[in-house]
Chain A
Amino acid sequence: MARLTYLDAGRVALAEEMRRDPTVWALGEDLGRGGVFGQYRGLTEEFGPDRICDAPISEACILGAAVGAAMMGTRPVVEMRFSDFALCAVDELVNQAAKARYMFGGQSRVPVVVREPVGMWRSSAAQHSQSLEAWYVHIPGLVVVCPSTPADNKGLLKSAVRCDDPVVYMEHKSLWPLEGEVPDDPDFMVPLGQARIVREGRDVTIVSWSQQVNIAAEAAAKLADAGISAELIDLRTLWPWDKPAVLASVRKTRRLIVTHEAVSVAGFGAEVAATVAERLHGDLRAPVRRLGAPRIPVSYAPTLEDEVRVTADGIAATAREMVGPG
């Protein structure tokens, strides 16, 4: 075990995979100087500028080139800088990367990892703060990963690099400095599609992912103080998502809150809520609750920005309502 930040865990994961497999390479803007957040620091020194490839500000070409290079037998890791800018490469991701294998009848695979830093980061406003994970879960062919801890950022990134499908890998910007214990083992992997039970509980299940898991954990701690036992599940990957883990938990607690930083309307929480309602309707002791952002863009001023945040107090209050005075 080593104590690493979320950021360094990702950096170590990529370095290990690049040492293991010479076909892995990374491309993106400013990578030669470590990337905008420093996620690539030191990698050019070890792997050289061909494998840590500086790119022009050409998001469509960065992603499109990765598709072509993946079809030719390499494993590109694409850095999109902010998930907001990845919108300049939606054709390349949605129409090309996600569809090539299927559309060509299985003749090719597109093993690319598309790193898209997501989420609110103080006063970054509407074009540098979005959480658009649900968009990509909607696209057949893509895998969607949203790590919330340093260990997961290592283990999931390694799994993403080894995966033959295109993976949208969403790191949360406010998690970069978060420290945690991370296994040193170069073969430490976190499987795609396996949720993590962050905390066991009896009264209510809280499902979340990415940075929102930490807020939900705070809520669960507050609830414990108030005598309510919450089970917290970190989905880790949204496609595939660990339905069995969620259904098993809700069968036990018979109450579900799903919370995410993204806009609530048509967010991935809706999919989780609908699935639980379809399977467990008669077992539920309270209606399923979704807690996400209102359908407004993220603002700059703290007072406005905070309006879209789902807080630990908000989650705890919802759980208390659901569990009731009983």
Chain B
Amino acid sequence: MVEDARSNSDVERLRRHHRLMWRIRAFEEQALRGLDEKVVLGAIHPSIGQEAVAAGVCANLACEDILLSTHRGHGHTLAKGAEPLAMMRELLGREDGNCGGKGGSMHIADFSVGMLGANGVVAANIVIAAGAAHAVKLRQEARVVCCIFGDGAINRGPFLEGLNWAAVFRLPVLFVCEDNAFAATTRTAAMTGGEGPIVRARAFGIPGVEVDGNDVLAVESAVAELLGALRTGDGPRFLCARTYRLTGHTGADPATYRPKAEVEARWKEDPIARVAAHLRLAGVPETELAADAETGQAEMRRAYQQAVATPYPRAAHAYADVQDVGDPRAEAY
């Protein structure tokens, strides 16, 4: 964390992060309660403990910049500017969810804020991001593409193909490996040869840095620097943000494959608590810090209640948006 968070602008910045990270935390805690109530329908992958990555990365992205995310994407999506109500509706499979109830948690996309989709297939977003950046370059647009993926994704082929592609064509894409030490129930290190993400990126000639992914300002400034290079047309960049998944892999996973003590120790590194500690040092009163949490929780409670009151899509909607040619509803095919 920066040494001196007492300048007004730093405090402001930290405060914004604090609010956003609480909104993300509150969204997921609410979603987990919804899962317990069997109102959230499918699997959800909480990012509790990883909020600083979402906040620090997206603080550097404008609306027209493009983001691609993963199955663990609620935080990224909120940080990119999506509305929690539409997202909550999507998790509940309701009308007016981001995807009209067709996608659920693992397929949330909000093209209106440049969020081109979570993805149910590990590493698949990497090659799509390379293509989005390719189009940006072809069209000579000024925006950048950011692709977030997990530490498990670096062992799939599309990681190799996508990074090589981005390097060959010098594309404006920032790859962010959100390294939470686990891939489902497996410790990623046990299944990864060599020295990990950064070294692999460098092997393609892609400069990269590693940061403490639980330090939101460190993430923010690392990304600022990397995007600075990107925006001058200097080709792709890579960030490895080291963090830790404080909950199970999914909402239903008790995560018994790791010792309690390990998780308890990691809770002491909770990125929200770390921001709060700095704000406290800078003189922000406890009541205001609590208010940030409560405001986020109230917002997500409201979103949830509204989502619960929203109807499911009509069954006929299942036939919409399949394709233009050979539409399954058409008689004449």
Contacts and interface: CB of A to CB of B under 8 A. Distances in A.
A105 B94 CA distance: 12
Interface in B291-332: 320-326, 328, 330, 332
Given A61-B130, A61-B165, A165 B116 contact: no
B210 to A, nearest CB: 25
B328 A140 contact: yes
A141 B322 contact: yes
A228 interface: no
A105 B98 contact: yes
A65 B134 contact: yes
A244 B107 contact: no
A61 B103 CA distance: 24
Which of B128, B161, B328 counts the most chain A CB atoms within 10 A?
Answer: B128
A71 interface: yes
Contact of A92 (B117, B124, B321): B124
B111 A239 contact: no
B124 A65 contact: no
Contacts of B138: 25, 50-51, 69, 74
Contacts of A197: none
Interface in B147-171: 157-158, 161-162, 164-165, 168
Contacts of B52: none
B107 A240 contact: no
B97 interface: yes
Contacts of A141: 322-323
B132 A95 contact: no
Contacts, number: 162
Interface residues of B, number: 50
Nearest to A63: B127
B109 A61 contact: no
A193 B162 contact: no
Contact of A60 (B102, B129, B157, B328): B157
A60 B321 contact: no
A247 to B, nearest CB: 11
B121 interface: yes
Given A61-B161, A74-B138, A241-B333, A105 B66 contact: no
A50 B135 CA distance: 10
B164 A56 contact: yes
A140 B131 contact: no
Interface string A47-67: 000110001101011011111
5 contacts: A91-B121, A104-B102, A141-B323, A143-B323, A240-B326
The 9 closest A-B pairs by CB, nearest first: A64-B127, A68-B131, A65-B131, A240-B326, A105-B99, A61-B161, A105-B100, A72-B135, A68-B132
